[in-house]
Amino acid sequence: MIEKKSDFLWEINREGNGLNVPVHIYANEAIMANMQRDRTLKQAMNAAKLPGIVKHMLVMPDGHEGYGFPVGGVAAFDAENGIVSPGAIGFDINCGIRLIKTNLSFSEVKPRLSDLMDNLFKDVPSGVGSKVNLGFTPSDLEKLTTEGAEYIVNKGFGFKDDVDRIEENGAMAGADTDKVSQLAKKRGVHEVGTLGAGNHFLEVQRVAEIVDERIAKAYGLEKDQVVIMLHSGSRGYGHQVCSDYLQILSDYQRKNNIKLDDPELAYAYTDTKEANDYFAAMKAAVNFAFVNRQVMTHLIRKSFEKVFGRSSDQLGMELLYDVAHNIAKLEEHDVDGKRMKLYVHRKGATRAFAPGREEVPKIYRAYGQPVIIPGSMGTSSYVLAGREEAMNETFGSSCHGSGRVMSRHQAIREIPASKTLSDMKSKDIEFRVRDRKLISEEAEWAYKNVSDVVGSIAAAGISNIVARMVPIGVAKG
């Protein structure tokens, strides 16, 4: 049933499987074997049966079982005759990642690292239900979810250049807060600027290796430089948007007598009221998440200023880039020689556009879009760059992280917290966590080897590896 097309590409043929398109899986032998231990490939096959899907269903090497649609999955649907599906985006709408640079070297930061982590842990709220009082009002929430990062930067939360270095310039046009429930708004108003829990994190990292000197220079990265990686999403606001519309679309399925292999893949046809309403609400949650990470960036910069006694501008704390990895977008791509408008759903997958695409910021356009890939707790993370092959093969998409191999419950059962703490100590990593169970849930061994994941993507020609970073300080909810 699964055909090996190359050392890093596998295919499940559509004929004989009732699929509308084949499934393409990017993985080495070991990762492929692991994917067959859960429902990852079955979920990908279910998605490949959805109406209006074009070319192929994709699974990235970090792919694993998710809610209906596999995490690490990418599917594109014809904008005229396709669908929009919340399950193919996820509950944490615009869960994403950003990388903030500094002009500090590891040797400068190391003596103050413990103090720095204490300040970051105090200044950036984290944990389940974490809230912050920064004076935001319901009116602010309406504006930031429609206007995005520029609105919050204009209120003093960031540099003007930050907006140019965020996917979509930090705001998806067409967000409509009238399509968002009051419960979502209530959950969101005090969560702007909070990290949350689970796999979300704040890491201080050292650039350990430069792989592509030319692109690294364009991105402003050099060996032993200290950078900050931030991973978070739309918090309770986005989760409630997804929950609300899963119910609405479940009702839509029943009314229209639509039968699904998996009810978690509930959808609505494009240009229906239900699809348009969800897409407008999703955009509001996307903008919330961009703003959430922007406010935390401001808080991170303030922490560095306190510890190092210089302004964040003097510390060179520019944003390298911010990418979303749970999102749907209306994009144009070539399919079988035809230019098509497509609703590209990426769930646990990162946009990785090639050099020359106008969506890539001007400062990076000649080099390809920065793709930021975090590892699991205590392991390496990577910066990649988009390639033309991604435009041809993956709708301009890449992996988004390392990908789980254990459920959270299994990790708690099988990985003692002491093992992770000992490992972090042996690597001389400063570690701060609010909920002790996360130490096991997010342990290195609960995830795939990120170097294998990134290596598979690079070997398949989807993205170039630019730099590798290692953590020196980790803060989690």
DSSP 239-263: HHHHHHHHHHHHHHHHHTT---S-G
* pLDDT at 251 (0 to 100): 94
SS3 466: strand
Sign, CA torsion 26/28/29/34: negative
- In this structure, the strands spanning 338-347 and 225-232 are unpaired
Angle at 381 between CA 378 and CA 386, to 5 degrees: 165
Host H or E run for residue 331 = strand 326-335
According to DSSP, residue 460 is labeled T
CA distance linking residue 409 with residue 393, whole number of Å: 35
CA distance linking residue 200 with residue 42, whole number of Å: 27
- The answer to whether 400 is a known catalytic residue is yes
CA distance linking residue 63 with residue 111, whole number of Å: 39
* pLDDT at 435 (0 to 100): 83
List, for the chain, all residue ranges whose pLDDT scores fall below the cut of 50.
Answer: none
* pLDDT at 128 (0 to 100): 72
Residue of 24, 239, 333, 400 marked catalytic: 400
| Residue indicated by tokens 């944990």 | 127
| Residue indicated by tokens 């890491």 | 203
pTM over 0.75: yes
**pLDDT tens-place string over residues 53-108:** 999 999 999 999 999 999 999 999 999 999 999 999 999 999 999 999 999 999 99
State the fold for domain 2-476: tRNA-splicing ligase RtcB (3.90.1860)
> Is the separation of the CB atoms in 469 and 381 below 8 Å?
yes
* pLDDT at 131 (0 to 100): 67
Which pair of tokens denotes residue 329?
């977008």
- Rg over CA atoms, the chain: 21
Host H or E run for residue 417 = helix 417-426
